[in-house]
Amino acid sequence: MTHNRRKPQARRAFLQRAGLQAAGLVTLVTAAARAQDKLAPEMVMYQDQPKDGQKCSTCLHFQAPNACAIVSGNISPEGWCAVWAAKG
């Protein structure tokens, strides 16, 4: 009988570990999906210099110190791209 009591505990522990691992996997997949939702710099004509007085640091989508909500990769505050929008 002692042997039968250990099985449910082992099964319960296994299921708990599996649940935690699944939650961790969901977190990783969600983060990867968010990163893939961004556009490649080439798609938006990104350049690391301002254009006509417009630059990333004055854009609505810029995320200091060097990221963008729309464009993937390392974004210069002095850069520019075709999705530039003035902060409002």
Backbone φ, ψ for residue 61 (5° rounding): -90, -10
Architecture of domain 38-88: Irregular (4.10)
CA distance 47 to 85: 15
**CA-closest candidate to residue 75, choices 48, 51, 53:** 48
- Of residues 32 and 16, more confidence is placed in 16
- Of residues 81 and 88, more confidence is placed in 81
**Beta strands in the chain, from DSSP E residues, in sequence order:** 62-63, 67-68
Taking only the tens place, the pLDDT of each residue in 27-82 is: 666 665 565 689 999 999 999 999 999 999 999 999 999 999 999 999 999 999 99
